[in-house]
Amino acid sequence: MNAFEPTAAATVPTPKPSMVIHAVILGVFCLGFGLILAVTDSITVDDIAARAIEDRQNSLSQVIPDEVHDNNLVADTITITNAHGMEITVFRARKDGRVTGVAYEIYGTGYAGEMKLMMGIAADGRLLGVRVLAHKETPGLGDKIEVKKGDWILRFTGLGLGNPAPERWKVKKDGGEFDQFAGATITPRGVVKAIHGGLEFFAANKTKLLEAN
């Protein structure tokens, strides 16, 4: 018999018992750890949701001062579609039932991608405050937009659509009103543009935002 002639077993390998064992071992480990993860998830899911609401409350309380509202901001929301077809969740501040201000997230384009901000506006259209929630800007340069790293972002409080005039809603380098940072112009430019866009959104939807239903 030719030793080199392939046998049927070599060309069509039948599963050896040991292969089945490997599959069973892997399967049991997957099942076991899957169960552990499912249990952990069900234990932690409520706490994690509660933490997310606390985080939102924290960021809202920074842009809506306590004295302008007596309601729970997180619970009083409406959804409005903006000019770009994006759905914006608006948190409303009320005092004695009347809407005294609104807050919503705005998005800007920085040097390293999208920046997420939260802005609060009083019913008369003045800014109550702006805070950066998330960004990927260069540490030491662009991150001065965070309130933790500098007070640049506080400059916007009290401003509105006509104050300064529309052509002055830019960084100084572009002939506007606001400081850029040494070595970082794109980041503050993006923030200024986002805030101005947020103010325009407020002006465009003012009646809908402020009606007390």
Partner 1 sequence: MSDYKTIVKDGLWDNNGVLSMLLGMCPAMAMTTSATNGFGMGLATAVVMAASSLLVAIFRSRITQEVRIPVFILIVAAMVTLVDLAMNAWMHELYKVLGLFIPLIVSNCLPLARLEAFAAKQPPVPAFLDGLFMGIGFTVALTGIGAVREIIGNGTLFADASLLLGPAFKAIELRILPADTGVLMMILPPGGFLVTGLMVVVKRMIDLRAGKEIQMGGAHSVA
- Nearer Cβ to partner 1 (56/126): 56
Task: Check residue 179 for interaction with partner 1 (CB under 8 A).
Answer: no
Tokens (6 digits) for 198: 């947020």
Does residue 121 come out as left (phi exceeding 0), alpha (psi in the -120 to 50 range) or beta?
A: beta
Task: Check residue 183 for interaction with partner 1 (CB under 8 A).
Answer: yes
Contact code string over 21-50 relative to partner 1, x by CB under 8 A: xxx-xx--xx--x--xx--xx-xx--xx--
Dist CA 100 CA 71 (whole Å): 11
- Nearer Cβ to partner 1 (45/165): 45
Q: According to CB under 8 A, which residues from 109 to 148 bind partner 1?
A: 138-141
Looking up tokens 């499912």, which residue turns up? 38
CB atoms within 10 A of CB 12: 8
- Nearer Cβ to partner 1 (3/182): 182
Residue 137 φ/ψ, nearest 5 degrees: -70, 165
Tokens (6 digits) for 76: 């009083």
Q: Considering only the stretches 1-9, 16-24, 59-67, 157-165, report the one whose residues sit in contact with partner 1 under the rule CB under 8 A.
A: 16-24
- Nearer Cβ to partner 1 (149/193): 149
- Nearer Cβ to partner 1 (116/206): 116
Shortest Å distance, C-beta 101 to partner 1: 26
Shortest Å distance, C-beta 48 to partner 1: 5
- Nearer Cβ to partner 1 (33/95): 33
Task: Check residue 162 for interaction with partner 1 (CB under 8 A).
Answer: no
Dist CA 170 CA 192 (whole Å): 6
Query: Which residues lie below 8 Å from residue 158, measured CB to CB, with a gap of 6+?
Result: 126, 127
Shortest Å distance, C-beta 60 to partner 1: 16
Q: What are the CA-CA distances from residue 62 to residues 18, 23, 147, 171 (Å)?
A: 62, 54, 10, 24
Task: Check residue 53 for interaction with partner 1 (CB under 8 A).
Answer: no
Q: Is-contact 176 168, C-beta < 8 A? A: yes
165 closest CA partner among 199, 189, 208: 199
Contacting residues toward partner 1, per CB under 8 A:
18, 21-23, 25-26, 29-30, 33, 36-37, 40-41, 43-44, 47-48, 51, 54-55, 138-141, 182-183
